[in-house]
Amino acid sequence: MFHQPVKKIVELQSRAMNIPAIFGYTKGVKEDELNDLKKLIRKAKKEFHLDGVVTGALFSNYQRGRVKNVCEELGLKTFNPLWHKEQLLELKELLREGFEFILVKVAGLGFGKSWLNRMISADDLKKLEELNRKYGVNVAGEGGEYESLVLNAPFYDKKLKIVESEIVEDGENTAHLVIKKAELDDK
C-alpha cells in the first residue's frame, strides 16, 4: 500500500519543507501495515495536535479508504485534494507550478532505465500519454508503473540534490534508482 522511498530522502524532504517527519517500520502485511499506520498517525496526532490528514490519493479507493478509516477511528478528518482529478492535467499543473521531480522506479511496458534520475519535463508527459495509448500505462503511475521523487517544490525552502546514485535494472521494463548520497541545496 505504501511508496517505499529511502528514509534519508524523506528526512531531507522534511527539512526542505520545515515539516517534521515521523518514521515507523512495517513488514507490509496487509492488516499489520494498517495497524502500523494507525500507530504512527496516533503518535503524530498527539505530538503535533493534528486535526486531519491530507493524502495524495488520485484514484486508488483502496488506499484512500484505508487512510480514511484509520483517521476516522482516531477522530481525524481526511482531505484528498487530488481525488479523481484528471491525471495528465495534474502532472502538467505540477510542472507549471515549479515542481521538479524524477522517477526512482519503473515497472511497465515502454519503460526502461532511461526514465530514471532525470527531471520530468513536458516532453516526458507526452511520452507518458503515448505509453498510455500504446500499453494502457496510467500516466500518473497509479497502477505501479512508476514511483516518483519530488526534488523541489514551491513550498520547499531548499531543494534536494542527488549527489551519488546507481541505476539497477531488474528486468526488461523494470529498474530502480539506488540513491547513495543526497543533500539539501539552496534554490
Per-residue pLDDT of the chain (187 residues; tens, 9 = 90+): 566 656 789 999 999 999 999 988 888 788 888 999 999 999 999 999 999 999 988 888 888 999 999 999 999 999 999 999 999 999 999 999 999 999 999 999 999 999 999 999 999 999 999 999 999 999 999 888 999 999 999 999 999 999 999 999 999 899 999 999 999 999 9
Asked if residue 169 and residue 97 are part of one domain, the reply reads yes
103-127 as b/e: b if 16+ CB within 10 A:
bbbbbbebbebebbbeebeeeebeb
**In terms of domains, do 130 and 73 share one?**
no
Query: Are 71 and 41 a contacting pair, CB within 8 Å?
Result: yes
Pair 38, 17 in one domain: yes
* Grid cell for residue 109: 511496458
**Tally of structural domains, the chain:** 2
Tell me: do 111 and 28 sit in the same domain.
no
Range of the domain at 71: 7-79
CB-based contact 143:111 (threshold 8 Å): no
pTM confidence score: 0.90
Burial tier of 146 (Cβ tally within 10 Å: 0-12, 13-18, 19+): buried
Residue 1 lies in a domain: no
Closest listed residue to residue 23, CA positions, set 31, 113, 9: 9
